[in-house]
A and B are shown apart, each in its own frame.
Chain A
Amino acid sequence: MIKTDILIIGAGPTGLFAVFEAGLLKLKCHLIDALPQPGGQCSEIYPKKPIYDIPGFPEVLAGDLVDNLMEQIKPFQPTFTLGERAETIDKLEDGTFVVTTNKGTKHNAPVVAIAGGLGSFEPRKPLLENLAQYEDNGIAYMIKDPEIYRDKKVVIAGGGDSALDWSIFLTDVASEVTLVHRRNEFRGALDSVEKVQQLKNEGKINLITPAEIVGLHGEDKLESVTIKKSAAEVEHITLEVDNFIPLFGLSPKLGPIANWGLEIEKNAIKVDTFDYQTNVPGIYAIGDVNTYPGKLKLILCGFHEATLMCQSAYQRIFPDKKYVMKYTTVGGVSGFDGTKKEAPKAVIKAID
C-alpha cells in the first residue's frame, strides 16, 4: 500500500503544480496517471504547441512547461504510479481513502485531489463489428511487450508516429509487417516517414495505402483481415495475420471516476469554489475536470485551484494547527531532499 498525504489523480500541469504548493506546506504527494509519462494533455496531445497565457511566460511549448514543472517540484520528491488508471475509491474507518488502480495498486491518503483533466486517455478503437471478440486474441491497442509478436504476421493501422515507429520496430521482430493507412500521407516525424519508405523499398514493410481494414475473421483468434482499398473498383484484399494493432491515438474518457459518488455536471465534477472540494469531504477536484459557475478550462486557473486546495487539505490533515502563508521570496523553498533554495542575503558594506 502506497501511503501519502495528498493523492493526486492526474499528472497534468495542475496535478504537478499541486505537488509544489503541497510541498511548501510540508505535505507529500503521490500521483496516479493512466499515461506512461507525466504531463497529461500537454505531453500526450500537443507537446510541440506553444502556450501564450502562462503568467510570466510570453511563449512556452507545452512539453517545456511540463519539464519546468517537473524541475520545480523535484525538491518535494513526488512519487508516481504511471500507466495505471484509478479505478475505485473506498473510505476507511479512520476517514482516509484507498484508491485502487486497474492493475490493483493500492494507495492510501487522507486527501484525494482529482486533477484528471478530460479523463484518462483510452485508445481509440476502430468501428468494426466483431472487434471485442478478438481483443487479447490477436488484437491489441498498445504494444506492451514486443516479444509476443516474434515471428508473427502483424498488421498495423494508423498514420501517426506510433503507427510508423512500431512498424519500423517490428520489422526486426515479426515475420511480416503490414502497415495500412487511409491516406498516402503520414503525419509523423520526417525521419520515421523516410525510414518506412526505405523499409518498404527493401520489401520489409508491406505498405497498403490508401486503404482501411473493414473486416476481421477467425475461429477463436484472429486469423485474417479484410482490407478495402480506397479506389472503389479495386477488389478487397484478404490478408492472413496473427495480430492486428490499430494505432489511432488516444481519446480522453472520464471513466470510473464518474462512479465515485461525486456530483457530475456537464461531464465535469462539481466543486465549491471556496476550496475546490467535491460533495464528498476530503475529495477535491482541480483543473479541467471540475466545474463551477464561471469555470474556465485554463492551465493558469488550475494552478490557482491547486493552491487553494492545498490550504484546505492542510487544515483537514492538521485541524488544530494554525498555518500562516509564507512568500517563497521570504521563506525560501525547503525540499524533502534536504535542498534549500532562498533569496541571497543582502550584503552590508560600509563605503569609506
Chain B
Amino acid sequence: MTDIKLKITDRDGVMHEIEAPTDMNMNLMEVVRSYELAPEGTIGICGGMAMCASCQCYVLSDHELPEKSDDEEAMLAEAFNVKENSRLGCQLHISEEMDGLEVELAPEEL
C-alpha cells in the first residue's frame, strides 16, 4: 500500500477526506500544504523544524502515533491553543500506521 486515507478538518471547520502517499517522505504539514487546506504563509512557516507552531493540529482518532521528540515537546510548551491531543503536523511522518487518522488544524496564531 502506498496511499493512506486521512480526515483533516480545516480551520473553518470543513472536513476533507484526502489520500496521502507513504512513499514520498512527506509529513502531515506538507500534506496539508499540498492540498492547500490552509493558506500559504499560515502553515509550515519554519519549514518543518518544529520551531514554530503554525502546523499544530489536534489528533481526534485514537491512532498510536510516534512519541513527541524533545523539540516538539518544547515547541508545544510555548505554543498557544495547546490541548492534550496537540501535535505538530511537521513531526508526523506519513506512514501506513496512520491510515484513517483524523485531525483538526489548530487555529492560526494571530
Contact A46 B51, CB 8 Å, known A266-B39, A267-B40? yes
CA distance A247 to B83 in the complex (A): 21
Are the C-beta atoms of B74 and A252 separated by less than 8 Å?
no
From B39, B54, B71, B78, A249 is in contact (CB under 8 Å) with: B78
Contact A49 B49, CB 8 Å, known A267-B39, A268-B41? yes
Q: In which size bucket is the chain B interface?
A: 10 to 19
Classify the secondary structure of B's interface with A.
loop
Contact A185 B74, CB 8 Å, known A118-B45, A267-B40? yes
Contact A268 B45, CB 8 Å, known A124-B109, A159-B78, A182-B77? no
B34 touches A (CB below 8 Å): no
Contact A46 B46, CB 8 Å, known A124-B109, A254-B41, A266-B40? yes
Mask: chain A, 181-192; 1 = CB below 8 Å from B; 0 = not: 111010100000
Are the C-beta atoms of B77 and A45 separated by less than 8 Å?
no
CA distance A109 to B78 in the complex (A): 41
From B39, B40, B45, B73, A252 is in contact (CB under 8 Å) with: B45
CA distance A187 to B41 in the complex (A): 26
Residues 26 to 62 of chain B near chain A (Cβ within 8 Å):
39-42, 45-46, 49, 51-52, 54
From B42, B49, B77, A46 is in contact (CB under 8 Å) with: B49
Residues 140 to 179 of chain A near chain B (Cβ within 8 Å):
158-160
**Most chain A CB atoms below 10 A, which of B39, B45, B78, B109:** B78
Are the C-beta atoms of A45 and B80 separated by less than 8 Å?
no
Supply 5 further A-B pairs (C-beta < 8 A) apart from A183-B73, A187-B74, A248-B78: A41-B46, A45-B49, A49-B49, A181-B77, A266-B40
> What is the interface of chain B, defined by CB distance below 8 A to chain A?
39-42, 45-46, 49, 51-52, 54, 70-71, 73-74, 77-78, 80-81, 109
